[in-house]
């Protein structure tokens, strides 16, 4: 075979490379913008997930590796191995930060399961139990916030954060903001009501809460659920709304 | 031109039949078992979205693996096998240009991959749909008792779950797998025209496959990073220019997470693939045209 054909073939490959490199660079940027391409894999991850999984993740099986790791995390949870569970979820989220359900699940494990595990631990003293439970709750808050930053269009993460703040961390002002954000992102109808309920419990925000509750009440019968009516009545009384202007048991009731 | 296309078609058909006789479709049975298993796993802590994600991960992962491995192995085996069976000499003794032989072989392999992926896609969509409806029915029963949820909330939830189930976006994902397989197969064809054994072709093609998945790192280093050693820059430039970027085809991770592939993005992927396959066919022809057989 004539040698020049080999040289010509090599020349074609290189020339083709010169043409396609700018195209591929542009496509890569577009894929990142469309979230079709995950973040670059951290080399340190290789030691954590093992050589084979790392190669698999590099070879286009990132999502599958993440799914398998969540199964592993599930086993850690069953065995109440929360340190390992945390490490495993860090890997999962490094692989797939745009899967909101992973953030949700990790937040739930830390904020609910791990927190309760410490609070009910029979071999720890009261102080340590409370400290560790507080740490777990705080960790869940940070995780869900990171999840929200990575998935700003997902209302479910805002709902989970609001529930954590309301049920575990007693931060009603914060919860009101997250419920309102969930509602703004197309979340369920109850998110708006809960935003108003949380505001009603937030010190200094009573006036704002009253406005929100009144607006909801005036929307119609479907919003007049027992909690809403009770909260509105309480605020109207506490804020000294004149009886003729009150919506609950007052003159302004339509 | 018509005669040329006809000859290519006959060669592609013969290659297709040859591969089918090698019982390649048996892989489909393993695939079905795998998908059925993923579809029947019931992990209590997983919500509907996560359960369906698992089915999609396993199915699309297996499809991607099959398409790439098959593209490499089948292409590596075909030319040496044709030489061994003396079929190659019979074909080339007739007025069949070598480029038509190469295109016919490539098309035959791609047809088998295409048919297999289509069959796998149909089966996996069926399993996913069944799973989706089953999980949805369970969740709906639970939601019916909740007074805080309106009819609109329930419908919105059902819509969210369905978005994670069977959608047209899965067709895009399967399409991207097929396009990647086209490039893998075409690059294996180039290697097989240089190689003298199937084993060499398989080993080198697998290496190209792995390097192709980190090509973007080399490209970024070459194009975007300022400074750095001359040798490192030259090496990364060579990797970027010679090896294909397979990461661009790995959109299935995004699809599984619920990201939508716009039509324009798919078109770009199709265009890039046509570009790759066209150039690789030219390169394979340049090497194969006067190769002593």
> pLDDT tens, B146-164?
777 777 778 888 888 888 8
Say whether A74 and B252 touch across the interface (CB within 8 A). no
Give the per-residue pLDDT at A253: 65
Average pLDDT, chain A: 89
Q: How far apart are CA A165 and CA B286, in angstroms?
A: 67
Q: How far apart are CA B108 and CA B185, in angstroms?
A: 11
Show the tokens assigned to B226. 């300022």
A42 contacts: CB under 8 Å, gap ≥ 6: A94
Q: What residues of chain A, 20 to 59, have a C-beta less than 8 Å from chain B?
A: 20-21, 23-25, 27-28, 30-31, 34-38, 40, 55, 58-59
The whole-angstrom distance between residue B80's C-alpha and the CA centroid of its chain comes to 24
Of A9, A21, A189, the CB nearest to B153: A189
Q: Are B253 and A38 in contact (CB under 8 A)?
A: yes
Show the tokens assigned to A133. 């439970």
Show the tokens assigned to A57. 């993740």
**Torsion over CA: A51, A56, A58, A63 (sign):** negative
Q: How far apart are CA A93 and CA A66, in angstroms?
A: 8
Coil, helix or strand at residue B250: coil
What is the mean pLDDT of the segment spanning B6-12? 91
What is the mean pLDDT of the segment spanning B121-131? 92
Q: Find the distance separating the first CA and the last CA of chain B, reported in whole Å.
A: 27
Say whether A64 and B147 touch across the interface (CB within 8 A). no
Say whether A5 and B292 touch across the interface (CB within 8 A). no
Show the tokens assigned to B169. 């976006």
Q: How far apart are CA A44 and CA B29, in angstroms?
A: 38
Mutate to test the interface with B, among A23, A67, A183 (most CBs of B within 10 A): A67
Of B49, B64, B260, the CB nearest to A60: B64
Show the tokens assigned to B171. 């067709």
- State yes or no: pLDDT of A168 exceeds 90: yes
Show the tokens assigned to A2. 């004539």
State ipTM.
Answer: 0.86
Q: How far apart are CA B45 and CA B42, in angstroms?
A: 9
Q: How far apart are CA A21 and CA B240, in angstroms?
A: 7
Say whether A58 and B58 touch across the interface (CB within 8 A). no
What is the mean pLDDT of the segment spanning A224-231? 88
Give the per-residue pLDDT at A138: 95
What is the mean pLDDT of the segment spanning A35-59? 76
What is the mean pLDDT of the segment spanning A213-227? 87
Q: How far apart are CA B144 and CA A152, in angstroms?
A: 29
Q: How far apart are CA B184 and CA B68, in angstroms?
A: 6
Say whether A190 and B148 touch across the interface (CB within 8 A). yes
Mutate to test the interface with A, among B257, B277, B293 (most CBs of A within 10 A): B257
Range list of H helices, B144-197: 151-163, 168-194
- State yes or no: pLDDT of B1 exceeds 60: no
Q: Are A165 and A178 in contact (CB under 8 A)?
A: yes
More confident site: B65 or A49: B65
**Torsion over CA: B184, B187, B191, B197 (sign):** positive
Residues of A in contact with B41 (CB under 8 A): none
Say whether B259 and A36 touch across the interface (CB within 8 A). yes
Mutate to test the interface with A, among B61, B222, B251 (most CBs of A within 10 A): B61
Show the tokens assigned to A212. 């929100």
Of B156, B257, B262, the CB nearest to A96: B257
User: What is the number of H-type helices and E-type strands within chain A?
Assistant: 13, 0
Residues of B in contact with A105 (CB under 8 A): 45, 50
Show the tokens assigned to A24. 């591929």
Task: Decide if B163 touches A, using CB distance below 8 A.
Answer: no
Q: How far apart are CA A28 and CA B219, in angstroms?
A: 11
Give the per-residue pLDDT at B45: 67
- State yes or no: pLDDT of A1 exceeds 60: no
Average pLDDT, chain B: 88
Give the per-residue pLDDT at B202: 93
> pLDDT tens, A100-153?
989 999 999 999 999 999 999 888 898 999 999 999 999 999 999 999 999 999
Q: Of A2, A64, A39, nearest to A150 (Cα)?
A: A39
Say whether A18 and B289 touch across the interface (CB within 8 A). no
Q: How far apart are CA B150 and CA A189, in angstroms?
A: 7
Distances (CA, A) of B134 to B42, B46, B58, B153: 11, 14, 19, 19
- State yes or no: pLDDT of A197 exceeds 90: yes
A110 contacts: CB under 8 Å, gap ≥ 6: A82, A86, A136, A137, A139, A140, A143
Q: Are B158 and B136 in contact (CB under 8 A)?
A: yes
Q: Is A210 exposed, middle or buried (0-12, 13-18, 19+ CB in 10 A)?
A: buried
Task: Decide if B145 touches A, using CB distance below 8 A.
Answer: no
Q: Are B193 and B287 in contact (CB under 8 A)?
A: yes
Please state, as a whole number, how many other Cβ atoms lie within 10 Å of the Cβ of residue B118: 12
- State yes or no: pLDDT of A188 exceeds 60: yes
> pLDDT tens, B230-267?
888 999 999 999 999 999 998 988 888 888 899 999 99
B43 contacts: CB under 8 Å, gap ≥ 6: A71, A74, B50, B51, B54
| DSSP secondary structure letters along A37-61 | SPPPPPTTHHHHH-HHHHHHIIIII
Q: Of B244, B230, B156, nearest to A182 (Cα)?
A: B156
Please state, as a whole number, how many other Cβ atoms lie within 10 Å of the Cβ of residue B68: 25
Residues of B in contact with A14 (CB under 8 A): 241-242
Q: Find the distance separating the first CA and the last CA of chain A, reported in whole Å.
A: 95
Strand segments, DSSP code E, in chain A are none
Residue listed under structure tokens 């949805």: B136
CA atoms within 13 Å, Cβ hemisphere of B90: 7
Residues of B in contact with A34 (CB under 8 A): 254, 259-262, 265
Q: How far apart are CA A106 and CA A113, in angstroms?
A: 10
| Percent helix / strand / coil, chain A, rounded to 5 | 75, 0, 25
Show the tokens assigned to B269. 């992927």
Say whether B148 and A60 touch across the interface (CB within 8 A). no
Residues of B in contact with A25 (CB under 8 A): 219, 223
């Amino acid at each position: 075979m004539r040698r020049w054909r080999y040289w010509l073939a090599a020349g074609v490959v290189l020339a083709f490379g010169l043409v396609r490199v700018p195209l591929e660079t542009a496509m890569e940027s577009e894929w990142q913008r469309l979230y079709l391409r995950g973040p670059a894999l951290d080399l340190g991850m290789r030691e954590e997930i093992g050589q084979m999984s790392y190669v698999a993740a590099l070879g286009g099986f990132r999502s599958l590796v993440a799914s398998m790791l969540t199964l592993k995390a599930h086993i850690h949870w069953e065995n109440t191995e929360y340190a390992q569970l945390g490490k495993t979820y860090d890997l999962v989220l490094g692989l797939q930060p745009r899967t909101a359900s992973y953030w949700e699940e990790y937040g739930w494990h830390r904020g609910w399961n791990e927190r309760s595990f410490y609070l009910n631990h029979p071999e720890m003293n009261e102080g340590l139990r409370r400290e560790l439970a507080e740490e777990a709750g705080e960790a869940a808050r940070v995780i869900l916030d990171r999840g929200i930053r990575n998935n700003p269009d997902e209302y479910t993460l805002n709902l989970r954060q609001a529930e954590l703040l309301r049920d575990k961390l007693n931060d009603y002002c914060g919860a009101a903001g997250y419920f309102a954000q969930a509602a703004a992102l197309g979340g369920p109808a109850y998110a708006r009501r809960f935003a108003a309920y949380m505001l009603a419990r937030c010190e200094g925000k009573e006036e704002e809460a009253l406005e929100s509750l009144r607006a909801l009440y005036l929307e119609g019968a479907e919003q007049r659920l027992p909690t809403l009516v009770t909260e509105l009545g309480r605020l109207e009384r506490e804020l000294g709304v004149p009886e003729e202007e009150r919506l609950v048991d007052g003159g302004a009731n339509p | 031109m018509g005669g040329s296309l006809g000859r290519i078609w006959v060669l592609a058909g013969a290659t297709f039949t040859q591969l089918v006789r090698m019982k390649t479709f048996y892989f489909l049975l393993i695939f079905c078992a795998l998908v059925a298993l993923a579809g029947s796993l019931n992990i209590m802590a997983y919500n509907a979205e996560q359960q369906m994600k698992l089915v999609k991960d396993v199915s699309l992962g297996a499809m991607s693996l099959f398409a790439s491995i098959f593209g490499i192995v089948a292409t590596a085996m075909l030319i040496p096998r044709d030489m061994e069976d003396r079929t190659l000499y019979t074909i080339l003794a007739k007025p069949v240009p070598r480029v038509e032989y190469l295109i016919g072989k490539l098309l035959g392999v791609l047809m088998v991959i295409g048919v297999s992926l289509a069959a796998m896609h149909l089966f996996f969509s069926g399993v996913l749909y069944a799973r989706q409806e089953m999980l949805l029915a369970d969740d709906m029963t639970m939601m019916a008792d909740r007074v805080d949820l309106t009819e609109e909330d329930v419908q919105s939830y059902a819509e969210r779950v369905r978005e994670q189930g069977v959608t047209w976006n899965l067709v895009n994902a399967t399409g991207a797998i097929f396009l990647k397989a086209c490039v893998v197969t075409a690059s294996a064809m180039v290697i097989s025209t240089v190689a003298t054994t199937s084993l060499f072709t398989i080993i080198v093609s697998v290496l190209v496959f792995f390097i192709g998945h980190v090509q973007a790192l080399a490209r970024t280093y070459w194009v975007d990073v300022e400074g750095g050693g001359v040798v490192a820059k030259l090496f990364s430039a060579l990797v970027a220019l010679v090896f294909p970027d397979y990461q661009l085809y790995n959109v299935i991770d995004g699809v599984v997470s619920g990201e939508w592939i716009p039509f324009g993005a798919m078109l770009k992927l199709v265009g890039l693939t046509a570009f790759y396959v066209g150039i690789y066919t030219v390169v394979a022809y340049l090497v194969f045209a006067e190769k002593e057989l």
